[in-house]
Amino acid sequence: MGADLKDFEPWLALWTLVPEGDVMSMPVTRSRLLPVRAGEQAAMLKLAHSADERRGASIMAWWDGQGAAPVLAFQDQALLMLRAPGGALVPMVQAGRDEAATAILCQVVARLHAPRGSAPPTAPPLDDLFAALLQSTDPTLAGARGVASSLLETSRDPVLLHGDIHHGNVLDFGALGWLAIDPWGLVGERAYDYANIFPNPDLASVTPDRVAARLSQIAKTAELEPARLRAWAHAHAGLSAAWHAQDGTDPAAPRAMLAILEAS
């Protein structure tokens, strides 16, 4: 076994898994993935790199396949989940079917937020996520900072949030439908889980017409106050721009969102 594959070996033995591909590394979280066969099922074995990612495994298990990929087993840093036979929503958007993709995202979020019979796993408050924006001294983010502060101070409709809903984190699971993967897990206002849809999947999606269309569609579908949803999109765009500044990466999409929202 290669060095990377050796890290998976205890879990391959524990759950009687057969590797079916190469080890993949997630660029932001640095967690690693390995396609495997679990009996007759195609599955994905994930080794979390951080405590946040480990928390995501317990949240996925709590969702129990309702809106999220079914979890077959999890222990410590290892998560074994069903593997999606299909892809993500990005090609649908690129083919001009943005309304259909947005509808799917809304359906998935609604399922994740649906009431369940047991208490959810413990998760940090949404306020913690906004530290990068709230502590930023960038004057161009002053408007977004003010919006975020106001929203967090007047938070409503608290739920266990996925925290990173976008077109690459919702996959086609065939007969099971479209399901989410890779949650961050936070407790906060449900509207936030729709905010990350707007600057995704790429810069080409961030136009005044498309932002307006998504605002209208999401607000209606999710039964959200349009002004409140718009405010969360504004706050999230500021947060994303602050993250890019910290990481030294391209902030084009969130900056385009900020320009659109602050110009109208």
Quick: pLDDT tens for 72-85: 999 988 999 999 99
Q: Tell whether 101 and 206 lie within a shared domain.
A: yes
Q: How far apart are CA 249 and CA 243, in angstroms?
A: 8
Q: How far apart are CA 17 and CA 57, in angstroms?
A: 18
Q: Tell whether 149 and 205 lie within a shared domain.
A: yes
Mean per-residue pLDDT, 60-66: 96
Look at residue 4 in the predicted model and tell me its pLDDT. 78
In this structure, are residues 7 and 32 in contact, taking their beta carbons and an 8 Å threshold? yes
Q: Tell whether 233 and 123 lie within a shared domain.
A: yes
Q: Tell whether 172 and 95 lie within a shared domain.
A: yes
164 in active site:
yes
Q: Tell whether 117 and 244 lie within a shared domain.
A: yes
Q: Tell whether 114 and 203 lie within a shared domain.
A: yes
Mean per-residue pLDDT, 200-227: 97
Look at residue 28 in the predicted model and tell me its pLDDT. 72
Cα separations (Å) of 134 from 3, 153, 161, 197?
41, 13, 20, 21
Look at residue 51 in the predicted model and tell me its pLDDT. 82
Q: For 128-179, what is each residue's pLDDT tens digit?
A: 999 999 999 999 999 999 999 999 999 999 999 999 999 999 999 999 999 9
Look at residue 108 in the predicted model and tell me its pLDDT. 98
CATH number where 70 lies? 3.30.200
Of residues 98, 164, 182, 193, which has the active-site annotation? 164
